[in-house]
Amino acid sequence: MFELKTIALFLLTALAEIAGCYLPWLWLRQGKSAWLLVPAAASLALFAWLLTLHPAAAGRVYAAYGGVYIFVAILWLWSVDGIRPTLWDITGSLVALAGMAIIMFAPRST
């Protein structure tokens, strides 16, 4: 159960971060409204808050989160940008997820 909760929390965290960065990108690169900065700031605040919900040490959480971020960014590439991931994109994402699993779920002595 701990593993599923951790992964779900990481997925939500990644979506919040990517959305918070994508909205300013739309404003700066595609000339969309500057009002997109308001939900972007809220999304980035949500991202930071979600990272605090993990019971593990902060450095471990940040390191492992990076693997999930890579995976979600590739999904974003496909679903939002409309660019189909390559075999290398998928392979790299799976390697990153394996790294996350090793960091977060390896047995530890307490």
pLDDT digits over 16-60, tens only? 999 999 999 999 999 999 999 999 999 999 999 999 998 888 899
DSSP string, 14-63: HHHHHHHHHHHHHHHHH---GGGHHHHHHHHHHHHHHHTT-SS-HHHHHH
Phi, psi dihedral angles at 48 (to 5 degrees)? -65, -40
* Mean of all residue pLDDT scores within the chain: 94
pTM of the predicted structure, to 2 decimals: 0.88
For the cut 90, the answer to whether the pLDDT of residue 94 exceeds it is: yes
What is the gyration radius of the CA atoms in the chain, in angstroms? 15
The pLDDT confidence band at residue 89, using thresholds 50, 70 and 90, is: very high
The pLDDT confidence band at residue 110, using thresholds 50, 70 and 90, is: low
